[in-house]
Amino acid sequence: MAAVLMLCAMIPMAAISVSAANCISNGTFESGTGSWGKSTNTVLTVEDGALKATHGDDWAYVYTKATLTPNTDYVITFRAKADKGGFKINFNDTSWNSAKETVPSLSPAITTEWKEFELEFNSAGYSALLLFFQSNQYGSAAQTIWLDDVVVTEKVDEPVIPEDPDLP
């Protein structure tokens, strides 16, 4: 028995990776455009496995609902590109009221080449938010953006397991 305990004590502990669940559905667009909404003059299609949103006016957006835990830190990751710059991410409550007083808008630098983004936010007192990818090209011609791999997860700090100085 002592030999078994000694053997177990000698096995190094590996860091355990904790993966939080995605708070939105269909962020990879494998189910087409399902669960994503749009402004009136926006056309949604899936092209090469990514959401393609072509906007025909200056108040253009696509959105999806994120189910959250109030007062919790979250991370949103996604890949995006656009034919013109100028997109931002806004948060609204599920009654379509702006939540920017507690959850500020995020303005990633979306370019004409695919780029990965990782942004953090806090859900404030909300249990659900509408996540908008909105055009900043007010009064301009049509604009197209592509989105893929959209994931919203609770921010999880990796556990730090101290090493035992007595182990070989």
pLDDT in tens, 82-108: 887 667 777 787 777 766 655 666 777
115-139 mean pLDDT: 81
Q: Percent of the chain having pLDDT more than 70?
A: 73
pLDDT in tens, 2-29: 444 343 344 443 444 456 799 999 999 9
**Separation of alpha carbons 90 and 98, rounded Å:** 8
Instruction: Give residue 6's pLDDT.
Output: 40
Give the count of beta carbons closer than 10 Å to the beta carbon of residue 2. Answer: 6
CA dihedral 69, 75, 81, 84 (to 10 degrees): 80
- H/E run at residue 10: helix 2-10
Instruction: Give residue 120's pLDDT.
Output: 87
**Cα separations in angstroms, 112 against 82, 89, 115, 146:** 5, 17, 9, 10
Q: Pick the range with the lowest mean pLDDT from 80-94, 111-125, 148-162.
A: 80-94
Q: Write down the pTM of the prediction.
A: 0.76
More confident site: 79 or 106: 79
DSSP 5: H
More confident site: 126 or 134: 126
Q: Quick check: 24 and 152 in contact, CB under 8 A?
A: yes
Instruction: Give residue 112's pLDDT.
Output: 86
